[in-house]
């Protein structure tokens, strides 16, 4: 039984990675997509918008469905849609069809992220839960670092569509593994109730997670463009710099373990967002080695919050409503994915200033820090 739960954690991590890799495949390819379809920066942000919008709208219904019909079943449906949407993106002859493919990816991600992570709560508890959530939180760093450092190179040699073919193949393999190995410890058959959605602390946590992602994913989405246009950084190096915030997030298992051992989560969340605010505000002022060092520090701060945020839904809405709690968090995540890069693209179009862009990212993080300060949890 002990070995099985770690296997469950592994396949949930892989399934989450498959969706996020498909989502994060787009930012390194934005310059190429922008060029092929003759788009503005604001329009190019649609490659993220059309993933985020359906995921934002469907995550809470997905949480209800997972609690009602079982987490594995809904996860398989969601991951299947991720495969289908990524395939459509790879073959799309127009930007409209590309957006359609990205929307299908977003629908699949909404179902997957509402249903798969709560499997971890079924198999882990107590102090081990923090470590398990820290390991699961590697999904975004893995997806971002691999996509940013692999797909940009692939695009330069084989074109941007080849990157989505890679994402399709990877998601398909992971779908098969998940279908074979994932298991509900108990199939939950809870009646649909809106009562958990009335709990204010859960929505405060959602705002924190949304603003965190507005800041972090705005950087990963637009970082390559910013470093190339304002700092003169070559494309491959710009990919690496844009993904550094996620590279340092590989420390999330450690921060999750520490939060679980100490038994306090709010200090980790608050310190994370305050540190991110300062680093983002300073980024336009540095170059070269100092730029790299500041991005390292930014990544370390960013690693503090996610494990503690992910461990809180059962505490705030009850273990029986964990899927619904994750649906709320996924709604918040995708609101951040939707609003953050879109606002940054608009600021870039209007002001064409890296100071204005990074200051906007810092504002997102500062807003999250304020809400974290007001949140009454351990």
Whole-model pTM? 0.81
Residue 158 lies in a domain: yes
Given this model, what pLDDT does residue 212 score? 97
Return averaged pLDDT per consecutive 10 residues of the chain, 378 residues in all. 85 96 85 82 73 85 84 95 96 90 93 91 83 89 84 85 94 97 74 75 96 94 90 87 82 87 89 98 94 95 92 84 85 87 90 94 98 90
User: Which domain covers residue 281, as residue numbers?
Assistant: 2-183+196-374
Whether 260 is covered by a domain: the verdict is yes
Does residue 188 fall inside a structural domain?
no
pLDDT score of 272: 97
161: Cβ contacts below 8 Å, ≥ 6 apart: 90, 91
Half-sphere exposure of 104 (CA within 13 A, CB side): 20
| 167-196 exposure pattern, b = at least 16 Cβ within 10 A, e = fewer | bbebbbebbeebeeebebeeebeeeeeeeb
CB 220 within 8 A of CB 144: yes
Count of structural domains, the chain: 1
CA distances from 353 to 72, 297, 359 (A): 46, 23, 10
What CATH number is given to the structural domain containing 81? 1.20.1250.20
Taking the C-alpha atoms of residue 107 and residue 58, their distance in angstroms, rounded to an integer, is 7
* Residue 109 covered by a domain: yes
124 part of a folded domain: yes
Predicted local distance difference test score (pLDDT) of residue 145:
81
Residue 196 main-chain phi, psi, to 5 deg: -60, -25
Query: Where does residue 2 rank: exposed (0-12), middle (13-18), buried (19+ CB within 10 A)?
Result: exposed
Q: Can you tell me the distance from the alpha carbon of 46 to that of 38, in angstroms, rounded to the nearest whole number?
A: 13
147 CB contacts (<8 Å, ≥6 apart)? 21, 24, 25, 27, 28, 163, 167, 243
Assess if residue 191 is contained within a domain. no
Residue 189 falls inside a structural domain: no
Residue 190 included in any domain:
no
pLDDT at 248: 79
Task: Check residue 236 and give its pLDDT.
Answer: 82
pLDDT the model gives residue 192 = 62
């Amino acid at each position: 039984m002990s070995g099985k739960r770690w296997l469950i954690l592994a396949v949930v991590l892989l399934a989450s990675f498959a969706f996020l890799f498909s989502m994060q495949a787009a930012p390194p390819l934005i310059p190429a997509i922008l060029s092929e379809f003759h788009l503005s920066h604001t329009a190019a942000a649609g490659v993220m918008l059309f993933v985020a919008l359906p995921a934002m709208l469907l995550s809470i219904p997905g949480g209800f469905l997972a609690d009602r019909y079982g987490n594995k079943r809904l996860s398989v449906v969601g991951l299947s849609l991720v495969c289908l949407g990524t395939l459509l993106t790879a073959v799309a002859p127009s930007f409209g069809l590309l957006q359609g493919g990205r929307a299908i990816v977003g629908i699949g991600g909404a179902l997957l992220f509402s249903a798969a992570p709560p499997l971890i709560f079924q198999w882990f508890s107590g102090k081990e839960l923090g470590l398990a959530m820290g390991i699961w939180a590697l999904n975004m760093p893995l997806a971002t670092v691999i996509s940013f450092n692999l797909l940009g190179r692939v695009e330069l040699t084989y074109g941007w569509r080849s990157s989505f073919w890679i994402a399709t193949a990877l998601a398909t393999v992971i779908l098969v593994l998940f279908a074979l190995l994932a298991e509900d410890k108990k199939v939950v058959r809870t009646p649909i109730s809106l009562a958990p959605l009335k709990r204010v602390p859960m929505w405060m946590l959602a705002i924190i997670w949304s603003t965190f992602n507005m800041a972090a994913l705005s950087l990963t989405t637009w970082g390559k463009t910013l470093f190339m246009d304002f700092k003169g950084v070559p494309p491959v190096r710009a990919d690496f710099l844009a993904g550094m915030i996620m590279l340092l997030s590989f420390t999330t298992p450690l921060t999750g373990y520490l939060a679980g051992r100490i038994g306090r989560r709010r200090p980790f969340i608050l310190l994370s967002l305050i540190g991110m605010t300062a680093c983002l505000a300073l980024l336009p002022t540095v170059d070269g080695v100092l730029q790299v060092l500041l991005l390292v520090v930014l990544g370390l701060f960013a690693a503090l919050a996610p494990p503690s945020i992910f461990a809180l839904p059962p505490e705030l809405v009850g273990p029986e409503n964990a899927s619904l709690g994750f649906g709320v968090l996924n709604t918040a995540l995708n609101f951040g994915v939707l609003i953050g890069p879109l606002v940054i693209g608009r600021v870039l179009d209007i002001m064409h200033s890296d100071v204005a862009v990074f200051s906007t990212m810092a504002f997102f993080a500062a807003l999250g820090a304020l809400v974290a300060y007001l949140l009454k949890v351990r």
